[in-house]
Structure 1
Amino acid sequence: MAFHVGQMVVCVLGGNPDGDGYGWEEYPVKGRFYTVRSVLTGFTGEAVRLEEIRNKEALYEVPGGVDQHEMAFYSMRFRPVRTTSIDRFTSLLNPQPDTVSA
């Protein structure tokens, strides 16, 4: 799923399901809303960093070795937040009468 910077997302898979990291990192919480801070693509697919979660840099595994960077989260753990206009609900309260063509 392609996300963009500034996009609102909701976490659908929280915590640390893969057991990655050192144990001190903060992870997204299922059901909470976040703002995409950056989008990364790499050997494991798309990942995002979030405005609301800022972990310190540490050594993490990358193709061919290790690198020091801030942890990112797989984009599959999130879905876009959908906004619905109040007009959609207002129209349900005021149904239009059925018309018959002659």
Structure 2
Amino acid sequence: MMRKFVAVFLIGFMLVTLVGCYTNTHVVGKGAQGSDVTTARQWYVLFGLIPINEVDSQQMTGGAKDYTITTQFTFIDIVIGAFTGVVSIQPMTVTVTK
């Protein structure tokens, strides 16, 4: 009985914690024309309410006219957030592909 409870609890816990994985993609101009990728991590306090640092995606483009910006809450962000979330700090990954 206890094993079943633990299994159901773990599955429920994973469903609740992993439900926040998402991706936002913004295509500028014709979108990415190559495979040059720049990645940065945006940090938030109060579980995403207030940004701590500023990721300048325009600076990450290096002056390119056509690029794609992808903002993701990735698995790595979840793992980091599992430790830093205790103090309400959460990361998010920003990727610019030129």
For Structure 1 versus Structure 2, the TM-score category normalised by the shorter chain is under 0.3
The higher relative CO (CA closer than 8 Å, separation ≥ 6) is in: 2
Larger radius of gyration: 1
TM-score using structure 1 length: 0.23
Q: More helix per residue: 1 or 2?
A: 2
| TM, length-normalised to structure 2 | 0.24
